[in-house]
């Protein structure tokens, strides 16, 4: 999912809420989400 800029200078991941103050913080949160999702695939 791409990181997108919202109105009023905030950022979001894909179609999520506009909750990140910077593009860098949105990208970091998305990377953490992907890492967490990937780590759970092998655990069942």
Spatial distance between the Cα atoms of 3 and 10, rounded to a whole number of angstroms: 11
| Residue with more model confidence, 16 or 41 | 16
44 within domain boundaries: no
Torsion angle in degrees (nearest 10) through CA of 31, 35, 38, 39: -170
Asked whether residue 40 is domain-assigned, the answer is no
Q: Is residue 42 included in any domain, yes or no? A: no
pLDDT band at 29 (very low <50, low <70, confident <90, very high): very high
Compute the distance between CA of residue 44 and CA of residue 29 in angstroms, rounded to an integer: 24
Residue 30 C-beta-side C-alpha neighbours within 13 Å:
19
What pLDDT does 22 receive?
A: 97
* Domains of the chain: total: 1
Instruction: Tell whether 7 is covered by a domain.
Output: yes
pLDDT of residue 24: 97
Alpha-carbon span 44 to 28, nearest angstrom: 27
pTM for this structure?
0.76
């Amino acid at each position: 999912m791409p990181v997108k800029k919202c109105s009023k200078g905030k950022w979001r991941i894909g179609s999520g809420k506009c909750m990140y103050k910077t593009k860098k913080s949105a990208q970091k949160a998305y990377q953490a989400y992907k890492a967490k999702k990937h780590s759970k695939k092998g655990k069942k």
